[in-house]
Amino acid sequence: MTALPPAGRYAPSPSGDLHLGNLRTAILAWALARGTGRAFRLRVEDLDRVREGAEARQLEDLAAVGLDHDGEIVRQSERGDAHAAAIAELTTRGLVYECYCTRREILEAPSAPHAPPGAYPGTCRDLTAREREAGRERMRALRREPALRLRAEVSTWSVRDRFAGEVTGAVDDLVLRRGDGVVAYNLAVVVDDAAQGVDQVVRADDLLSSAPRQAHLAQLLGLPVPEYAHVPLAVNALGERLAKRDGAVTLRDRLALGESAEQVVERIGESLGLPGCRSARDVLERWDPRSLPSEPWVVDLPA
């Protein structure tokens, strides 16, 4: 099989319309990929939280701000065989175990020393055969399957991020397949990035803490670890992550108020210190990644 060329990507979840922060990240991902001679892939991460019509609107919005892409659009929901094969490989190597804990039990369980909040404490890691059977009976009563977790052999892992530098983060026994049978994000993103030849991952920096565990999982599966480039979030005036509740924050909202797509891109360009940009191509031609602001973009929009 011919190897795919190195690529960057953008991978939205079709849970609603893209807001200006999403579009800013998409433009930066596209510009960094194109500016470093990479292909640019699109992937729809539709394993859950799918809203009818959202995918089509998102793709239209990306095209409206000037993003093109290479190859076919990949949908995670169509990648089940590849995800299952990765879990099967880890299982064969003794790196997977069943977990019978509820989300509430995990949140209420005492964490291991020095573990980050929400890290799995390993409750089901070393159960006896009798305890495992009791756990399965409990799951049957709840009409759900046990979750499958990685039996992590390290507690931390380090990655190199283009903007954040060397980052060392916690690695816990992360979920590979949820109790509802849906493959977990951390596994799917690692497998799908490798399948698309993605060796450059640009995304918002609220996902930076996920990079070490994803890189470790890639290493376990014998997959290449991409170059990470986490960019600052867009936030509202209170410093909270930008969301639809903050008003007219999507491209379609702005168009309905009489703005053009070019004006929206111009606003995004200004947030990068690049006034006068009217398309993603303008950003590509003018943006120096070394000048990326380190602080979140505070979005203050006229109604």
Hey, what are 163's tokens? 């903007």
**DSSP code of 184?**
P
Q: Residue 234 annotated as binding?
A: no
Question: CA dihedral defined by 158, 290, 185, 197, rounded to 10 degrees?
Answer: -90
Q: Residue 100 annotated as binding?
A: no
**Contacts of 93 by beta carbon, 8 Å cutoff, 6+ apart:** none
Determine whether 244 is an active site residue: yes
Q: Residue 209 annotated as binding?
A: no
Q: Residue 244 annotated as binding?
A: yes
Q: Residue 12 annotated as binding?
A: yes
Q: Residue 104 annotated as binding?
A: no
Q: Residue 215 annotated as binding?
A: no
Q: Residue 99 annotated as binding?
A: yes
Distances from the Cα of 272 to the Cαs of 18, 231, 279, 285, 297, in angstroms?
19, 11, 13, 13, 9
Separation of alpha carbons 58 and 60, rounded Å: 5
Q: Residue 143 annotated as binding?
A: no
Burial label, 210 (beta-carbon count in 10 A; 0-12, 13-18, 19+)? middle
| Residue count (the chain) | 303
Give the residue carrying structure tokens 């194109």. 34
Q: Residue 120 annotated as binding?
A: yes
Q: Name which of 218, 229, 199 is nearest 6 in CA terms.
A: 199
Q: Residue 34 annotated as binding?
A: no
Q: Residue 9 annotated as binding?
A: yes
> Please, are residues 97 and 122 in contact by the beta-carbon 8 Å criterion?
no
Catalytic entry in 118, 244, 260, 275: 244
Rounded to 5 degrees, φ, ψ at 201 are -115, 110
- Binding site for Zn(2+), residues? 99, 101, 120, 124
- Binding site, residues? 9-13, 45, 99, 101, 120, 124, 185, 203, 244
- Binding site for ATP, residues? 244
List the catalytic residues: 244
